[in-house]
Amino acid sequence: MGEDIKLIANNKKAYFDYFIEDKYEAGIALHGTEVKSLRMGKGSIKESFIRIERGEVFIYGMHISPYEKGNIFNKDPLRVKKLLLHGYEINKIAGQLATKGYTLVPLRLYFKGSLVKVEIGVAHGKKLYDKREDIAKKDMRREAEKDFKVRNLY
């Protein structure tokens, strides 16, 4: 039950640019050298995005560095990768995306046991004033933590 989760990559920018409505866990169809490279922590989802095409979910722009000892078996680092979800989950996500302004974004990439998983989120974009609000809240929290730390020292 208590499966260990080892984080490979996190997409902090997604939380800054979007309001995350729903989260889903998806597997990824990968080749052997890609998994070995991810075990070494060489993956990035910063610039990636997700699309649903013909009832299947694909992730674009996810970078997995070539495995050093992989020679001819290495695949293109930016190739399109298929995400593995149940049919009912894909239908539910497609229904949510039909609403104007919603998109799919990758949130984090991790190992769950020995399997590579991606957490994806159904999200809608923030306006500039929403981002300013988040920055102000973060600054206030940081100041409060700083004051708390100073008061507890004496």
Q: pLDDT for 81-109, tens place per residue? A: 899 999 999 999 888 888 877 889 999 99
Count the neighbouring beta carbons within 10 Å of the beta carbon of residue 19. 13
CATH of the domain at 33: 2.40.280.10
Q: Exposed, middle or buried, 104 (CB in 10 Å: 0-12/13-18/19+)?
A: buried
Average pLDDT over residues 117-122: 91
Asked if residue 105 belongs to a domain, the reply is yes
Mean pLDDT taken over the chain: 84
The total number of structural domains that make up the chain = 1
Asked if residue 147 belongs to a domain, the reply is no
Q: How confident is the model at residue 120 (pLDDT cuts 50, 70, 90)?
A: very high
The proportion of the chain whose per-residue pLDDT surpasses 70, expressed as a percent, equals 95
Among the residues of the chain, which ranges form H helices? 12-17, 32-39, 87-97, 128-153
Asked if residue 75 belongs to a domain, the reply is yes
Look up residue 77 and give its two tokens: 């680092």
Place of tokens 């984080």: 7
Q: CA distances (Å), 20 to each of 49, 64, 69, 109, 136, in order?
A: 14, 25, 38, 16, 19
Full residue range of the structural domain in which residue 70 is found = 5-126
* Residues 46/55, Cβ–Cβ less than 8 Å: no
Asked if residue 60 belongs to a domain, the reply is yes
Instruction: Provide the terminal-to-terminal Cα distance of the chain, rounded to the nearest Å.
Output: 44
Euclidean distance between CA atoms 61 and 70, whole angstroms: 21
Asked if residue 144 belongs to a domain, the reply is no
Q: What does pTM read for this prediction?
A: 0.74
